[in-house]
Every structure is written in structure tokens, then in C-alpha cells.
């Protein structure tokens, strides 16, 4: 047979659409052409495939070789198609049985020696191949990652020769297994019990976790804002399998494997304020996911919020609403998931000590205003909870830690989330204004009291709805169907910045 076809997969965001590699040998001057609009990297694969075939002891056909990667409009970059192209040439020249390629998909880059090199994004490939009930062949280095997918049929090989021996029925290839990937998922998570003092801030973390509210800590340096922030993932509900796979699929596109040991843990990403817009939201020539997508299903922590460029913060508004980010390029738009919980921290002024009882702050009134205004605006509007984190007294720091562990707090969070799911099918943090009014009804005396208080504090209509949502979460944490006045009063306490800004 002089015509062969082999299946492989492209990478398109977290999708992995099927690509058909067609190889045709015809008589004429020996040549090799690749069609299907592949990019430079695919053209380079011609040279790698030729060397790999020769170094694995095969003949490189002295024919006119035409290779077509279909469909043509898909993005095709990187060496991920090498293995499929090499097998196509071998099948078309009858060096491997073409019928053995049926029901299989192949992915992997070839070294000149014929060894198989790992590629990025194997997990999305495995998820799609499983849906189609195809057996997937991957490089050995990608085996653990591909095997995270449930019910997957993945075998791994370390060289082209191994794959051809398998296709000839001369050798079996090892079935990939997820190693010890999901054992002891909680071991490394920082525990809330380690944080001394800061009762209000800890409570705010619990509320944020329970209602999926975004949260801002405001306080002088050295009060443990970062330490508190790193405790949030540990009190969030455990990820479901589909959530974990979605989050792992994004990590899989970045070509590092250190996430594999704790792939069931919610991610915690803390990009520095000097990070570029592309690093934060994703992009580049072949658009890569940014920090906000790597935080999908977990927490994005922005320390020293006013230090981030205003432009970068503005870009975060859309994914905060939609849970995804679309990166537009001339030829294609790539979409990445980006449903993260935002946690931010800031000093109250440039020196950090505004409001300090010992008068340590040396900033002028204008400096303080300018600093706070930098963080305010549309992004701040999307943060429900603003919480002051004051310095901790020395006696508390020296005391033995006595607070609750993350595991105990997490149980309450899980129970509160279940109440929300049953009542409205989403978390309180995700309620629209209209839904908020439906599920946050107050009795008339509480309503009057609340409206009056909000008016006195000169809060906006938006802030009014945010307070109601927080009060709803407080009621859920208490196991109460109705929002009570105590919940409303506590909620008002979580708007520290509104007070600062007056």
C-alpha cells in the first residue's frame, strides 16, 4: 500500500482536536513535502523523522512523499506529530502493518536517534482519545500524566523501534499508570492552626471559602497577610474529579511535571507584581495559559495590590465575571478556563503604617489617597470582603498555636457550600443582583435597619448587594435558613476599605 493514515491530536487551548496524518508515496524524484499549512516547527520535523527512521534501522523510501495534516485550519506547532508522521511513512512503505494502526492514536517528538521525547498537553489528548475509545501511545516520560484520565487506554514507549515492534506484534508496551500521584493529597498544605492571633482575618478566610467570595487583606507589613492567604486552598472543599482534571489539563500545557504529585489539590498561584500582562493572563506567539488559568479551580493571590499595573488589573475584570479568558490572535482565538478565587493584600499606605496608634506613618494625606485609589476602582468593586489585618500582640505570637485546624474549618465550609448548591445551584459569590434579592430576603425590621445603616455609611448600591451575599454566607455557615441581624452586622464589618477611603 502506498497510502497510509495515522491519527494524532493538535493542541488548541485545553482542547485536543483529532488530526489525521495522511502519507502518500508516488514515483518520481525523491522528495518530501508537508501540506496542511503547518508551521516552521512541523517543517523541522521532516529532518528529525528522516534521521530517526534511518537510525532505527528502517529504509527511508526513495520516493516522492506527500504528507498531509488534516484538517488544514488547525494550529499545528511543535514536534508532537513526529511519531505519527514516521509511522505513516513506515506504513505507506509497508515497513509496519497499516492495519495495526487502526483504533490507535500516537503522540510524541522524535530525537534523531529515534528515542521518543515528551510533549506538552498529553492529558487533554488522553481525555479526548478516551472519549473516542482509541488506544493512545505516548512517550514514556508522559505516561503518568496521560494516565490521570479515568478509564484511559494508554501505553508508553521510549523509542520508535519499541512502537514498531509493538505494531508487528513482537513486543508488548507497558500500560501507563498514574504512579502515586493522588496519594496523601493534603500533606503539604499549610494549616490554619499555624497562624497565631488574627481571629477576624481567619474568620474572613472561612467566609470567603464558604461563599466563594473574593477577599482583600489590608494591614501593615509583617502581620501575616501572606501566611493567611496560603491557608485558603486548604480550607476549600476538595476538588471533584472533573474539576481536578480540568485544572490538571491547564498545568499539562505548560510542560512542567512538578504539579503531578499534588494534582488533586487546589492550585495557589502568587504572581509577583512585576509579572507582565502575558504572564498573568496568558498569550505569546503560540498562546500559553497565564497565571489566572493556572489558578483555575483554586486561588490567585495578588500581594501588594496597588503595585500591579492598572492595565494588568483591568484585564482581570472579565475573567472574574466569566471564568474564562479568550486570547485573540490573527489566525485564531484561544480560550482558556480561568475560574479562580481572588485573594489580594495591600498596605494601607506607601510606608505601610497608616492608622498605627504609635504614629509611625509619615505619609501625607495625598500620598495615602493616591495609594489607595490605585487599588480601588472596578477591580476592587468585585472583591466582596475587605478585612483589616492589624499587628499581633507579642504575647499572642509567643503563645502556643491553639486555633482550629484547616480540616475542622473545611468541614463547615463544605456544609455551607452544600446548602448553597441545594438552594440556588451556585455559590453565594456567584449570585447576580437579581438572584441576590431573591435568596437574601430580610424581615421588614431587619430590612429597615440594614438600609438605614448602609445609608449612614454612604455605601453604594453595589456594596449593598455584596453585603447581602456575605450575610447569606454567614447564615449558611451557621446553618440558618433566614438571614438574621447578627449576620448583617458581621457582614458590615467586612468592608474595612470603605471606611479607610472616607
> Which residues contact Zn ion by CB under 5 A?
349, 351, 354, 361, 363
Choose between 90 and 361: whose C-beta lies nearer to Zn ion.
361
Q: How far is the CB of 358 from Zn ion (least distance, A)?
A: 12
Choose between 111 and 363: whose C-beta lies nearer to Zn ion.
363
Q: CA–CA separation, 498 vs 492, rounded Å?
A: 10
Choose between 304 and 318: whose C-beta lies nearer to Zn ion.
304
Q: CA–CA separation, 153 vs 136, rounded Å?
A: 6
CB 342 within 8 A of CB 323: no
Choose between 439 and 501: whose C-beta lies nearer to Zn ion.
501
Choose between 19 and 349: whose C-beta lies nearer to Zn ion.
349
Q: How far is the CB of 197 from Zn ion (least distance, A)?
A: 23
Choose between 113 and 364: whose C-beta lies nearer to Zn ion.
364
Q: How far is the CB of 371 from Zn ion (least distance, A)?
A: 8
Q: CA–CA separation, 202 vs 501, rounded Å?
A: 23
* Alpha helix (H) residue ranges in 240-322: 241-252, 277-281, 291-294, 310-315, 317-322
Q: CA–CA separation, 89 vs 52, rounded Å?
A: 12
Residue with cell 472583591: 383
Choose between 351 and 439: whose C-beta lies nearer to Zn ion.
351
Choose between 371 and 494: whose C-beta lies nearer to Zn ion.
371
Cα–Cα distances in angstroms (integers) from residue 337 to residues 18, 236, 264, 465, in the given order: 21, 19, 17, 27
Cα–Cα distances in angstroms (integers) from residue 396 to residues 2, 197, 215, 228, 231, in the given order: 79, 6, 24, 16, 19
Choose between 364 and 432: whose C-beta lies nearer to Zn ion.
364
The helix-helix angle for 122-131 and 241-252 (nearest 10°) equals: 130
List the Cα angle 116/100/49 in 5-degree steps: 30
CB 104 within 8 A of CB 134: yes
In sequence order, what are the residues at sequence separation of 6 or more whose Cβ sits closer than 8 angstroms to the Cβ of residue 35? Answer: 66, 67, 68, 69, 72
Q: How far is the CB of 131 from Zn ion (least distance, A)?
A: 57
Choose between 363 and 407: whose C-beta lies nearer to Zn ion.
363
Q: What is 405-427 written as a DSSP string? A: -HHHHHHHHHHHHHHHHHHHSS-
Q: How far is the CB of 115 from Zn ion (least distance, A)?
A: 59
- Residue 215: name the closest of 305, 115, 126 by CA: 305
Q: How far is the CB of 365 from Zn ion (least distance, A)?
A: 10
Q: How far is the CB of 306 from Zn ion (least distance, A)?
A: 12
Q: How far is the CB of 355 from Zn ion (least distance, A)?
A: 9
Cα–Cα distances in angstroms (integers) from residue 314 to residues 335, 336, 379, 382, 432, in the given order: 18, 18, 7, 11, 21
Q: CA–CA separation, 131 vs 203, rounded Å?
A: 43
Q: How far is the CB of 354 from Zn ion (least distance, A)?
A: 5
Q: How far is the CB of 367 from Zn ion (least distance, A)?
A: 7
Amino acid at each position: 500500500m502506498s497510502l497510509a493514515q495515522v491519527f494524532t491530536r493538535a493542541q488548541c487551548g485545553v482542547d485536543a482536536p483529532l488530526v489525521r496524518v495522511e502519507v502518500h508515496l508516488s514515483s518520481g524524484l525523491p522528495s518530501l513535502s508537508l501540506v496542511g499549512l503547518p508551521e516552521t516547527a512541523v517543517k523541522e520535523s521532516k529532518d528529525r523523522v528522516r534521521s530517526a527512521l534511518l537510525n532505527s534501522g528502517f529504509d527511508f523510501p526513495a520516493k516522492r512523499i506527500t504528507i498531509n495534516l488534516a484538517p488544514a485550519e488547525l494550529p499545528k506547532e511543535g514536534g508532537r506529530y513526529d511519531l505519527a508522521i514516521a509511522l505513516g511513512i513506515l506504513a505507506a512503505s509497508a515497513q509496519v502493518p497499516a492495519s495495526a494502526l487502526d483504533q490507535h492514536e500516537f503522540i510524541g517528538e522524535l530525537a534523531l536517534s529515534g528515542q521518543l521525547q515528551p510533549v506538552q498537553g498529553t492529558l487533554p489528548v488522553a481525555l479526548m482519545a478516551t472519549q473516542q475509545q482509541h488506544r493512545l501511545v505516548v512517550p514514556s516520560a508522559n505516561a503518568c500524566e496521560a494516565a490521570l484520565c479515568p478509564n484511559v487506554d494508554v501505553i508508553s514507549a521510549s523509542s520508535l523501534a519499541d512502537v514498531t515492534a509493538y505494531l508487528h506484534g513482537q513486543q508488548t508496551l507497558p500500560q501507563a499508570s498514574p504512579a502515586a500521584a493522588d496519594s496523601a493529597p493534603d500533606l503539604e498544605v499549610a494549616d490554619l492552626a499555624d497562624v497565631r492571633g488574627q481571629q477576624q482575618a481567619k474568620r474572613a478566610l472561612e467566609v470567603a471559602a464558604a461563599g466563594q467570595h473574593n477577599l482583600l487583606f489590608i494591614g501593615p507589613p509583617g502581620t501575616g497577610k501572606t501566611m493567611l492567604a496560603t491557608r485558603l486552598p486548604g480550607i476549600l472543599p476538595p476538588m471533584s474529579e472533573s474539576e481536578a482534571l480540568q485544572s490538571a489539563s491547564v498545568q499539562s500545557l505548560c510542560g512542567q511535571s512538578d504539579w503531578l504529585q499534588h494534582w488533586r489539590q487546589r492550585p495557589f498561584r502568587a504572581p509577583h507584581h512585576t509579572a507582565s500582562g502575558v504572564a498573568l493572563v496568558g498569550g505569546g506567539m503560540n498562546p500559553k495559559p497565564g497565571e489566572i488559568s493556572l489558578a483555575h479551580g483554586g486561588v490567585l493571590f495578588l500581594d501588594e495590590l496597588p503595585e500591579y499595573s492598572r492595565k494588568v488589573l483591568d484585564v482581570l475584570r472579565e475573567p472574574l465575571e466569566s471564568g474564562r479568558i479568550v486570547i485573540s490572535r490573527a489566525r485564531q482565538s484561544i480560550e482558556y478556563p480561568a475560574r479562580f478565587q481572588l485573594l489580594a493584600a495591600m498596605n494601607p499606605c506607601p510606608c505601610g503604617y497608616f492608622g498605627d496608634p504609635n504614629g509611625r506613618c509619615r505619609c501625607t494625606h495625598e500620598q495615602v489617597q493616591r495609594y489607595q485609589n490605585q487599588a480601588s476602582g472596578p477591580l476592587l468593586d468585585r472583591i466582596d470582603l475587605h478585612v483589616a489585618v492589624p499587628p499581633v500582640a507579642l504575647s499572642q505570637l509567643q503563645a502556643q498555636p491553639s486555633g482550629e485546624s484547616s480540616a475542622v474549618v473545611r468541614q463547615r465550609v463544605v456544609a455551607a457550600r452544600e446548602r448553597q448548591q441545594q438552594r440556588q445551584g451556585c455559590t453565594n459569590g456567584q449570585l447576580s443582583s437579581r438572584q441576590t434579592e431573591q435568596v437574601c430576603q430580610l424581615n421588614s425590621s431587619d430590612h429597615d435597619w440594614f438600609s438605614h445603616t448602609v445609608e449612614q455609611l454612604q455605601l453604594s448600591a453595589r456594596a449593598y448587594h455584596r453585603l447581602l451575599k456575605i450575610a447569606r454566607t454567614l447564615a449558611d455557615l451557621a446553618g440558618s435558613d433566614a438571614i438574621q441581624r447578627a449576620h448583617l452586622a458581621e457582614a458590615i464589618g467586612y468592608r474595612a476599605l470603605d471606611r479607610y477611603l472616607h
